[in-house]
Amino acid sequence: MQELIECLTYDELEEFIKYSDYAVVDFWAPWCAPCHILHRILQTVAPAFSKINFGRINTQRYPEAAEMYEIYGLPTLLLFRNGQVVDRIVGVVSKNYLVEALNKLIK
Amino acid sequence: MKAAAISINGLSYSSFADCNPKFLLNLFSSTYRGVVENRDSFEPLKVWKLILKNATFEQLLSKGVLFSNIPITNPTYGRPSTDMFKVSLREELELMLSTINDYSDKYIVLFSINAYERDLKNKKNVCEELSLVDNYLKAAFEAVNNYMFFSPYGFNGTSYEPYGIYISSIPRPSEEETIKLDQILDIVLSLKI
């Protein structure tokens, strides 16, 4: 499976969001078991959404990213339109739920 | 107190997302869970030497652990053992259950399921294999008081992942850390407490 989800550093995060019309950022940590499940779901869904840039950031390595975006639980997906947060998904969700949220993002 | 630690080499949380194994997902939602992180090797010999810390069968038996079907030799190391190139996944899972039934009242049974990864390498269907594993792990869960289901790495049929699963009746050593291979034996030993 081609990896369409960019691994981001804290320094890259702001520009990634700023220069994307639509962006989804997965806030995760290696110790978080549900994060690994959600990542796989995101991997399977991402190819159908070429308008969206997908990224993920390890909050254990970059806790300042979690602080900046007020991430209180993992995994959390933040959905951005023109640099603004328009949706926040906390925890593992089904593929269908995620597809619906992404369709809403680009509508 | 009956206890068992079952390793399913290659099982990953990615396959949970792909296949929705009913029992494991239910258990995942209701008990202690974590992630095994392995940056060392995906070779069973190296992995299991790290897990067992080079202890022999007799050394661990004296500490109350009976290890079985460990894929560091062929036939596999421990008691009982199998020919790891010939045993089917179902036969291996049956052997896991009979070992638990025969020994878990006296020892902590540490059993390695190896055919799952081998079958995925041979292009068998991941979800069919996982469904079989799921059913037998449910039976193992029902046969013991304390359990730990884990994998030392993930494998999806084409590539390896440095993360394996950890689902257990006891919490992992540190909440916000992954479990390293050299911590696994200590967790196994604590299953009997």
Residue A62 is predicted with a pLDDT of 98
Whether pLDDT at B189 is above 70:
yes
Residue B88 is predicted with a pLDDT of 98
Whether pLDDT at A1 is above 70:
no
Q: Is B127 helix (H, G, I), strand (E, B) or coil?
A: helix
Q: Percent of chain A having pLDDT more than 70?
A: 98
Residue B157 is predicted with a pLDDT of 87
* pTM of the predicted structure, to 2 decimals: 0.95
Average pLDDT, chain A: 96
Question: Chain B contacts of A32, Cβ < 8 Å?
Answer: 35
What is the pLDDT averaged over residues A69-87? 97
What is the Cα–Cα distance from A20 to A16, expressed in whole angstroms?
6
Q: Read off the pLDDT of residues B36-65 as tens digits, 9 standing for 90 and up.
A: 999 999 999 999 999 999 999 999 999 999
> A97 and chain B: CB distance < 8 Å anywhere?
no
Confidence category of residue A85, pLDDT binned at 50, 70, 90: very high
- List, in order of start, the domains of chain B with CATH numbers: 3-189 (3.40.720.10)
Q: Read off the pLDDT of residues A94-103 as tens digits, 9 standing for 90 and up.
A: 999 999 999 9
Question: Chain B contacts of A36, Cβ < 8 Å?
Answer: 12-14, 35, 163
- 10 Å CB burial of residue B134 (0-12, 13-18, 19+) is buried
Token pair of B188, please?
């196994």
> A37 and chain B: CB distance < 8 Å anywhere?
yes
Confidence category of residue B122, pLDDT binned at 50, 70, 90: very high
Residue B42 is predicted with a pLDDT of 94
Rounded to a whole number of angstroms, the distance from the CA of A102 to the nearest CA of chain B is: 18
Q: Is B46 helix (H, G, I), strand (E, B) or coil?
A: helix
Rounded to a whole number of angstroms, the distance from the CA of B28 to the nearest CA of chain A is: 9
Q: Read off the pLDDT of residues B64-115 as tens digits, 9 standing for 90 and up.
A: 999 999 999 999 999 999 999 999 999 999 999 999 999 999 999 999 999 9
Residue B126 is predicted with a pLDDT of 95
Q: Which residue has the higher pLDDT, B165 or B158?
A: B165
Confidence category of residue A48, pLDDT binned at 50, 70, 90: very high
- At the topology level of CATH, where does A5-89 sit? Glutaredoxin (3.40.30)
Residue B193 is predicted with a pLDDT of 63
Residue B186 is predicted with a pLDDT of 96
Q: Read off the pLDDT of residues B1-24 as tens digits, 9 standing for 90 and up.
A: 999 999 999 999 999 999 999 999
Distances (CA, A) of B77 to B83, B86, B114, B169: 10, 15, 12, 26
Rounded to a whole number of angstroms, the distance from the CA of B75 to the nearest CA of chain A is: 33
Across the interface, whether the CB atoms of A37 and B33 are under 8 A apart is answered no
Sign of the alpha-carbon dihedral angle for B43, B46, B51, B54: positive
Give me the residue from B14, B175, B176 closest to A36, CB to CB. B14
Residue B38 is predicted with a pLDDT of 97
Complex-level ipTM: 0.94
Whether pLDDT at A38 is above 80:
yes
What is the Cα–Cα distance from B67 to A35, expressed in whole angstroms?
31
Segments making up each domain of chain A, as ranges: 5-89
Is residue B133 within 8 Å of B8, Cβ to Cβ?
yes
DSSP 8-state symbol, B72? T
β-pairing verdict for A84-90 and A76-81: antiparallel
Residue A44 is predicted with a pLDDT of 95
Residue A3 is predicted with a pLDDT of 75
Across the interface, whether the CB atoms of B17 and A44 are under 8 A apart is answered yes
> A36 and chain B: CB distance < 8 Å anywhere?
yes
β-pairing verdict for B108-113 and B65-68: parallel
Question: Chain B contacts of A41, Cβ < 8 Å?
Answer: 17
Q: Is A8 helix (H, G, I), strand (E, B) or coil?
A: strand
Q: Which residues of A are catalytic?
A: 32, 35
Across the interface, whether the CB atoms of B13 and A41 are under 8 A apart is answered no
Across the interface, whether the CB atoms of B33 and A29 are under 8 A apart is answered no
Rounded to a whole number of angstroms, the distance from the CA of B29 to the nearest CA of chain A is: 9
Token pair of B62, please?
């004296």
